[in-house]
């Protein structure tokens, strides 16, 4: 059995980030790991008890005007990009790595990791408790329903929900 080691306390200062914009609110009890691999745009809100888990490789980039609800977990080992004007509901999980299937006789925990980036397009909204799995690209202006598990890419301007998530309909063009 391999030995486990701590990933640290999750404590950080603003100067530890790769980049941080203006008017960034990190509520109490937010944990940040590897902040030197994380860039936050301006006007970003991160709710209480959220975890931004950078990794020793790849980057987490969060654009301007992004709202992240409490108790979210973002893991960016494979790379994570959240474009501008995205809303992410409480309890959302975004994963960018998984254990490979190496067959019988190898415990899953001991199998090697594979990494795959996640991208969330501008203007999208991710409902409370949704899970986004490694390698998924969510298009622009997409609405993901609460509790959905997104396993495949979603095109621009759709509404998707379910386990696994599927496209329910297209969103109408914005009328001003």
Residue 173 has pLDDT above 70, yes or no: yes
Q: What is the pLDDT of residues 101-114, one digit of tens each?
A: 877 777 878 888 89
Where are the chain's structural domains? 15-100+110-170
The residue that leads in pLDDT, 176 or 18, is: 18
Tokens, residue 115: 């990494």
* pLDDT at residue 9, as a whole number: 86
* Active-site option among 29, 48, 99, 174: 99
* pLDDT at residue 174, as a whole number: 67
Q: Check if 34 is active-site.
A: no
- As a whole number, mean pLDDT of residues 70-89 equals 98
* 167: Cβ contacts below 8 Å, ≥ 6 apart: 154, 155, 158, 159, 160
The total of other beta-carbon atoms located within 10 Å of residue 130's CB is: 25
132 forms beta bridges with 94, 150
| pTM for the predicted model, two decimal places | 0.93
CATH class as words, domain 15-100+110-170: mainly beta
* pLDDT at residue 1, as a whole number: 57
Q: What is the pLDDT of residues 18-77, one digit of tens each?
A: 999 999 999 999 999 999 999 999 999 999 999 999 998 899 999 999 999 999 999 999
């Amino acid at each position: 059995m391999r030995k486990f080691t701590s990933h640290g306390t999750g404590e950080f200062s603003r100067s530890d980030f790769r980049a941080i914009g203006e008017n960034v609110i990190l509520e109490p009890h937010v944990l940040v790991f590897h902040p030197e691999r994380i860039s936050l745009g301006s006007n970003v809100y991160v709710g209480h008890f959220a975890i931004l888990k950078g990794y020793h490789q790849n980057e987490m980039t969060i654009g301007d005007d992004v709202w992240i609800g409490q108790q979210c977990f973002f893991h960016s080992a494979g790379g994570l990009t959240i474009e501008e004007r995205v809303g992410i509901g409480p309890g959302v999980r975004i994963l960018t790595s998984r254990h490979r299937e190496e067959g019988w006789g190898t415990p899953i925990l001991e199998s090697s990791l594979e990494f795959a980036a996640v991208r969330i397009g501008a203007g999208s909204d991710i409902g409370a408790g949704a899970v986004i799995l490694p390698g998924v690209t969510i298009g622009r202006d997409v609405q993901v329903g609460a509790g959905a598990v997104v396993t495949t890419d979603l095109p621009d301007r759709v509404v998707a929900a379910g386990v696994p998530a599927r496209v329910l309909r297209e969103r109408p063009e914005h009328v001003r």
